[in-house]
Chain A
Amino acid sequence: MEESRSTIIIGFVFAYFLLCIGVGLWAMSRTKSTHDFFIAGRNLGVFVTAIAIMSSTMSGFGFVGGPGMVYSMGSTSFWMIICVTLSYPLAYYLLAKRLRLMAELRNAVSLPDVVVARYKSPAAGGLTALAILLGVIGYMSAQVAAMATVLQILLADFVSLSLGACALISVALLVFYCVTGGIIASVYTDLIQGAIMLVAAVLVFLAAFNAVEGGFAGMSETIMKDDPGAMSPWGTKGMIGCLSFYFVFALGLAGQPHIVTKFMMNRSVADARWSLPITVIGFGTTALLWIGIGLAMRALVLQGDHATLSAADQAAPEFLTNYTSPVLAGVVFAGLFAAIMSTVDAFLNIGAAAVVHDIPKAFGKTVNRELLWARVATVLIALLATGFGLYGGELVGLLAAFGWGTFAAALVPTVGIGLNWKRATPAAACVAIAVSLLVNFSIKVFAIPMPFGIDPGAVALLVSLVLFIGISLCSRPAPIDPDIEEVMEL
């Protein structure tokens, strides 16, 4: 079986690709309007929504970067995982009901639509769309580049393809099911992707447990002997750095547009009751892979049972190559593609909505034949992100950093708090979004050192929250449409 390892792995990956194509074709017949394309006709059930939210959150970072971070920094990145019992509930409490009801009331197809309805401010909607678009290009570029690299490595035993060709293959598949099936294809592939991730995570966790003598106690003992601080709650990053992670990841999920827009797609508000626990349990389970591989590889290298890794991100591929069966490696590599694609397809969808729907609306324009143009925009955004991912150089890193923290800082105050607090004003929303983008970009562009390794996103979130609430309290209350006000009172 070992000699045909590459064939088995690539077989699993291509079987997964075929599944995605199948779902795209099936979803095409169900996508007849802009509403179907962007918000699945508001007809998703409990389980589909829950798993779509979970798998959109767990990107390729969870399968490669996460284990690498544990390998490199010990328990530091545990903070990104344990916050899920706070972050998902907070997003549900703040937005599951409000977003769903406002979307239905105003026939909204995107987050900026709801922002415009709430604040009666096209400027606030336009800024929300701009923040989304910048984040989408950044996130997607990095994910497309990662997907192309992994595919190139997997195909190396069979055919020598350039990185560009691998990127085109991956993106062509993504574009196919996103263009044909829109968000319906996206959420149903998310369901398949989520299932693959769950299976992969549990199996890898068991493999990691058995890879080191003494299981997790043995790993902890080895890592602790080398550096007791690495097995403290702060890992190597330190206390304040970890607490800043907790702040931005726990409070920030309510500002992630690719996740919270799923609340607009539920069949009914009541469905959210059970989708929250399913989401939390699902993410917690997939995070087992993150912790398992990271700790096992750090312990194995420190014990001298495995050669030193050239880079921390090698932890997951090295573990899969050396400590799992080819079948399990195949499932996990399919899971890795699933994790990347489930995040990217969500971004493609909200990016297309920003381009053809939200930004024109901010300027008082509407696009005729929106469904057609949404499909065109999906292709263009995918190509733009591929171009940036392959040839963007430092700009990709800059835009990729423009991810979680930026969305959190820009959208948590305006969307998370603003949809629940009548005193919030349009001016405060515009200032909070604009300043948060400025703070995030400035920290990155000018490489401003953060004391104690504080996450820049946490700084931007602190600034935008203070500005949003402070300006709202200091300015005159702004009028809200009576129907929106009624929803805010429910």
Chain B
Amino acid sequence: MKKAPLIILMCCLGIVAALVWAAITVETTASLAKPHALQSSMQTSGGMQRDLGIWAPGVVVGVLTLVAAAAAFSLGVKRTATRGIAVAAGLSLIAFTGMMLAQRNYAGAEIHAVSGWFTAPVNWLLFGLGIFPAAYVGVWVFGFRRWIFSPEDQAKFDSLLERSRSGENRKGGE
């Protein structure tokens, strides 16, 4: 996709803007870890209210990271793969949004509970954001011969290599 670098640039500038926004509205050391009261080799979060104040900039940073990644993915494939990339990006965004919403509920709740092996937002992190982007692996494996490297591409490359080896192409380039 020709516009992909421009999208990546806009996403990077957007991330910088979100960080500046957070830095001028919230105490920038508020979210840092605190030493554990009893265990010297451990840290604590110092309470979850710290992150609620920067929830919106956090959403912006996360979403723009995933959009920038999707744009970068589109650089490496043929244009026809755009739909596959969009589906994988959409799944990643769904997982990230689900995790952010679950986290807001978890941080705001008075009683915290474990759901399965972990807390609900960590489940979204590990089994959502950790697994949903694997759709990109699916696009790669199942669309490889159509969108990444077809037998026609191999033939074109073999022909290029042959020309290059015989010196024609290099001389032409110079």
- Which residues of A come within 8 Å of B, CB atoms? 71-75, 78-79, 81-82, 85-86, 88-90, 92-95, 97-98, 101, 104-105, 215-217, 220-221, 224, 226-241, 243, 246-247, 250-251, 254, 269-270, 273-274, 276-277, 280, 298, 301-302, 308-312, 314, 416-417, 420-421, 423-424, 451-454, 462, 465-466, 469-470, 472-473, 481-483, 486-487, 490
Contacts and interface: CB of A to CB of B under 8 A. Distances in A.
A394 B19 CA distance: 31
Contacts of A237: 31-33
Contacts of A311: 41
Contacts of B19: 240, 451-452, 454
Contacts, number: 270
A246 B41 contact: no
| Chain A interface SS verdict (over half) | helix
A232 B5 contact: no
B122 A233 contact: yes
Q: How large is the interface on B (under 10, 10 to 19, 20 to 34, 35 or more residues)?
A: 35 or more
B80 to A, nearest CB: 14
Contacts of A75: 122, 125
Given A72-B41, A453-B32, A273 B141 contact: yes
Contacts of A280: 134, 137
B160 to A, nearest CB: 5
Nearest to A280: B137
The 5 A-B pairs with the shortest beta carbon distances in the complex, nearest first, are A229-B45, A238-B31, A82-B130, A93-B76, A451-B28
Interface in B65-122: 65, 68-69, 72-73, 75-77, 92, 99, 103, 106-107, 112, 114, 116-119, 121-122
Contacts of A482: 169, 172-173
A348 to B, nearest CB: 29
Contacts of B65: 243, 246-247, 250-251
Contacts of A250: 65, 69
6 contacts: A231-B114, A232-B48, A232-B103, A233-B121, A254-B72, A469-B5
Contacts of B41: 71-72, 308-312, 314
Interface in B118-159: 118-119, 121-122, 124-126, 129-134, 136-137, 140-141, 144, 148-149, 153-154, 156-157
